[in-house]
Amino acid sequence: MMHLNKNTESLAFDQIKQIWRRIAKTKKSAGIIHELEFYKKLVDVLHVGKYYVYIFNCSSVEMEFVHENVTQVLGYQPVDVTPEIILKNIHPEDLPYFINFEDTVGVFFNQLPKDKIFKYKVSYDYRLKNANGEYTQILQQVTTIQTSEEQGILRTLGVHTDISHIKMGGTPKLSFIGLDGEPSYHNVNSSVVFLPSKPLLTKREMEILKLIVEGQSSDAIAVNLFISRHTVDTHRRNILAKTETKSLAELITKAIKEGWV
């Protein structure tokens, strides 16, 4: 999968807003939690590396606080970081995981006794496009810092850590990390509420694109894939057209920048 059209982006954001509001169980937005509670939870989730913290309101679907470190991690100013921007810049292949993970998070916390809601941290990773148009592998860790009167999750404290030096791409994994002696659950199977759109390139075109990025000629690609030179050239023309690039150099640059290979 290469990209999402505007209708798909709108559908994705509508879907995730519904999920977050179900998690909150209310449309009312209570006052911000006391600063002491913030720092107490902060200690539990911080990890070494480039990171920034934020506070998210599930009911109003907005970022109430984004630390200035976001500029070091993603290149954005704190005021520019919104749920819409985050969702829009998640790698298309990782977006369905993100939405399905969030729905699973809602189901998980909904069945917890109210005294255990604060005792779990949610952890998963995905690729997020930074201000330079390149992808950063983000480890997202979130813990509840305030609940609503209906015992829904109202506010969460999140940490986005750059783990690109450890992992880039691959299948995102969801885990619930138990705090204060609670059991942890790793590689949790998620619900399916959002399906990926049709891939931009076919499987064969993706194979050829990867070989092009590796620097192989059309003749070498034909030998490696046991197809004719003519077939390779046809695929190359189709790839350029589908990716809206005019040369192999532009194609390679875009493929790397967009995280297609």
Residue 93 has pLDDT above 60, yes or no: yes
Residues whose CB falls within 8 Å of the CB of residue 39, separated by 6 or more in sequence, listed in order: none
Identify the weakest region by mean pLDDT among 60-74, 186-200, 210-224, 236-250.
186-200
Taking alpha carbons only, the member of 152, 166, 85, 87 closest to residue 117 is 152
Q: Are 198 and 96 in contact (CB under 8 A)?
A: no
Angstrom distance (rounded) from CA 121 to CA 133 = 30
Q: Where are the beta strands (DSSP E) in 203-250?
A: none
pLDDT of residue 162: 95
What's the pLDDT band for 2 if we cut at 50, 70, 90? very low
Angstrom distance (rounded) from CA 146 to CA 34 = 10
Counting every residue, how long is the chain?
261
| Whether this model's pTM surpasses 0.95 | no
**For 6-178, which CATH class?**
alpha beta
- Amino acid identity of residue 124, one-letter, is Y
Angstrom distance (rounded) from CA 258 to CA 2 = 8
4 vs 21, more confident: 21
- The mean predicted confidence, pLDDT, of the chain is 85
Domain boundaries, the chain: 6-178, 203-257
238 vs 191, more confident: 238
- Amino acid identity of residue 29, one-letter, is S
Strand partners, 142: 122, 158
Angstrom distance (rounded) from CA 57 to CA 148 = 11
Angstrom distance (rounded) from CA 14 to CA 102 = 13
pLDDT tens string 101-158: 999 999 999 889 888 999 999 999 999 999 999 999 999 999 999 988 777 899 999 9
Angstrom distance (rounded) from CA 176 to CA 221 = 44
Q: 203-257 architecture in CATH?
A: Orthogonal Bundle (1.10)
